[in-house]
Amino acid sequence: MLPSMNKLLEIYRRLYCAFGPQYWWPGEAPFEVAIGAVLTQNTNWGNVEKAIENLKREKALSAKRIHEMRTGRLASLIKPAGYFNIKAKRLKAFIDFLINEYNGSMERMKNEEMQTLRVKLLKIHGIGPETADSILLYALKKPVFVIDAYTKRVLSRHKIMGHEENYEKFQVLFHTALKKDIRLFNEYHALFVRLGKTHCKTKPICGGCPLEGI
DNA sequence: GACCAGGCACATC
DNA sequence: GATGTGCATGGT
């Protein structure tokens, strides 16, 4: 076993011991998770919740309703999540795809072969690797590891991989080192985010960090 | 008031 | 291919 494999397991163990299970994704239905995945791009989750609340209040949290809605109207509802004009277009693009390819059904989308689906998702305007993988893992329960800014920060600071390496390379590391376990991938990524919220924002290794000494 | 937050597309070189 | 920039709100 490579040293990096041991490190990844040790990091997970420490984070889980420190923070416990995170029970992601906070949105219940797969469709809501997918919408949240777009809205949370470079955005605090609290703001995303406000935007989703607006959609729920207007009974607009469905593929059909958002599909029928004007982009400007959608933008005004998701305003708290920031970048609202861009994200309105991105949500529209995702829902066009969902309706055209799967008749608006996340369940049908889930039946698609994973790699095929991932390639299709990445072709949608506004869906990059992290958003695609968040949808695959958290909405559709597919075993893919989600890489984000926190993941890169932690791994580069612990000299496991250079920060400049691309998304796929980080992902391959996790896919190679870990068992392809949905529950594990779910918690691990969520724990990285949990760590990033309170630790090591400015200093490479802060005091009281669960990862101290790795 | 500065800085940050669960990215991505696009322009420019 | 790499590097820089716009997008925008709300909490600390």
Chain segment A49-101, per-residue pLDDT in tens: 999 999 999 999 999 999 999 999 999 999 999 999 999 999 999 999 999 99
| pLDDT score for A202 | 52
| pLDDT score for A212 | 87
Tell if A42 CB is < 7 Å from nucleic strand C.
Answer: yes
Nearest to A38 by CA among A102, A101, A81, A98: A81
Chain segment A159-209, per-residue pLDDT in tens: 999 988 999 999 999 999 999 999 999 999 999 999 998 886 655 556 778
What's the mean pLDDT when you consider all of chain A? 94
Q: Which residue is nearest to nucleotide B9 (CA to C1')?
A: A126
Distance A40 CA to B5 C1' (A): 9
Question: Which nucleotide has its C1' atom closest to residue A44's CA?
Answer: B5
Domain A30-139 has CATH 3.90.1010.10: no
**Reported confidence tier of residue A4, pLDDT bands at 50, 70, 90:** confident
Distance A170 CA to B13 C1' (A): 28
Which chain C positions have some atom within 7 A of a protein CB?
A: 6-11
| pLDDT score for A206 | 66
Model confidence pTM above 0.75: yes
Distance A152 CA to B6 C1' (A): 13
Residues 77-96 of chain A with CB under 7 A from strand C are 79-80, 82-87
Which chain B positions have some atom within 7 A of a protein CB?
A: 4-10
Tell me the domain boundaries of chain A.
3-23+145-198, 30-139
Q: Which residue is nearest to nucleotide C10 (CA to C1')?
A: A47
- Residues contacting nucleic strand B by the 7 Å CB criterion are A 24-26, 36-37, 40-45, 47, 82-83, 86, 124-132, 134, 138, 148-150, 193, 196-197, 201-202
